[in-house]
Amino acid sequence: DHLLALFADNVAKANPGATVVCDIKSSGSLIDVLNALGAKACVAPSGHSHIKHAMKEHKALLAGELSCHFFFHDRYFGYDDGIYAGLRLIELLHTSGKTLTELLANIPQKISSPEIRIACKNDSIKQDIVADIKKVFAARADLELITIDGVRAHMSYGWGLLRASNTQPVICLRFESDDTAGLTRVQNHFYQLLL
């Protein structure tokens, strides 16, 4: 998502108001960067086909997933191509005259967990777990929810995501906050419900 923010900076400067698609697992830092650029952020469910669909539906010039799949419809054909994404990164480094570390320093820093994967006994139970936790969070007035792919609960001190894997009997979690204390608080909300 930090690389997507760098690519978006380049694309949005050349195409003001461009739409950029990111997946539900992406950092809030990416959304902050897109808003600052005047780009239109479109959050889509995680998965190759969902990203491609959202990209086509919203006529996006750029899309990406946390898993490092990047789709360029700016000066390219709009599909996922790792070699092309690598070339765009080299071009960005060359034209900016900066190192990757220097470019990434401009992205707001947050504390994020890795994607946490919990195995389920069978494939059907993962949807039940997500539905149950979604109901609990939906009853709370102090949260903002995104429910396009599982449940992403935004709190004043961070956000957490619980979703069912598209490919395995697994539920996936991811958390983010501005600081360690906030990250722990967000994680505890989810973990207490899973116990």
pTM of the full predicted structure? 0.92
* Average per-residue pLDDT for the chain: 95
- Triad 88, 55, 164: Cα angle to 5°: 105
How does pLDDT run across 26-60, given as a tens digit for each residue? 999 999 999 999 999 999 999 999 999 999 999 99
| Residue 79, CB-side half-sphere exposure with 13 Å CA sphere | 2
Locate 42 and state its tokens. 């479109």
Please say if the pLDDT value at position 195 is more than 90.
no
More confident residue, 124 or 7: 7
**Mean of pLDDT values over 13-30:** 96
pLDDT digits 0-9 by tens, 119-157 = 998 888 999 999 999 999 999 999 999 999 999 999 999
pLDDT attached to residue 140? 93
| pLDDT score of 123 | 86
Torsion of CA 8, 155, 105, 107, to 10 degrees: 20
Name the nearest CA neighbour of 67 among 34, 20, 25, 119.
25
Q: Which residue has the higher pLDDT, 123 or 159?
A: 159
Whole-angstrom distance, CA of residue 41 vs CA of residue 44: 10
Rounded average pLDDT over 175-179: 97
In angstroms, the CA 77 to CA 136 distance is 42
Q: What is the pLDDT of residue 143?
A: 93
Task: Name the E strands within the chain.
Answer: 19-23, 40-44, 62-64, 70-72, 111-112, 116-119, 144-146, 151-155, 158-164, 170-177
Question: How far, in Å, CA of 170 to CA of 119, rounded?
Answer: 4
